[in-house]
Structure 1
């Protein structure tokens, strides 16, 4: 598959966030903690673009939104590249700090990475043909699960004063992206109903 600039962008964002975290930390452990946190935030816009591409194209059809939809695969791969850097930073921080994550967090996050890797490996036309309807099921469930993990994480920060602002911003963006998908689905159903009514006349 031909490499696209979105993948390089994802790698660059991840590496810049990684370096910034390591430089900002007052200790090695804190540096890796910040690196894990900031690499996740760096990849979030790429996920939102991937998640919202089809909705934007349906709600506001035009050259820009059609181009976004056409390149959605590569925005997703850019997010995958950035998020693998996040995984490396997170594992390093957990090993250095000895922090134990709750089982639900491990299961939810682990599933997210399994789906992310599966989606990245099947982001080709050949894989789409081989998997048939299962390709759509995998990618639909996968993108929604990744959205849920980020949305849940950001909304959970709202309750704590020290993280409330980032929670409001990130959670608000995630909820807005979901709203776009709902609005696009409603528009599609209304258009189908109008077309059916016109044909039946």
Structure 2
């Protein structure tokens, strides 16, 4: 829903930029999913779009209380795209932004250094992307290259199928891969090698 709303907002620049959506890219054994990618004036704009609602806090560039930090995800995607472009001889700047499209979000601790845009900042940002420029053949070449790099199948989309009756719960010994058993209230012991953890 957030990506569709963002696409509607980006319609104003459809004639002057190349826009690629929902790319799955891989480089150096790492994979990333890119919500939206814009190419204009020899520059790539990588956009990660979130439709979150609620209150969140950022401390030292990390979202407090979340296991997966969207800023870390954004940086990872930027690194993969830069590596992919550089590996094939494209020397272009990649600017990455995290867009929160839902107006019902509050971000505490947000600094100007964070590559984050809130709903009211998105349209002015789109107006400034490649301001006064229109895509050219070089931009088209970059866009076509990135489109060719799209991985059609996400290997993470199909989880491993297993029978819950055959899976055992517990912590495995790092040495002999046998299930450990309780030793006392704070430690586990391997019944095979005696290792305590």
TM-score band, normalised by shorter chain:
under 0.3
TM-score, structure 1 as length reference: 0.26
More helix by share: 1
More strand by share: 2
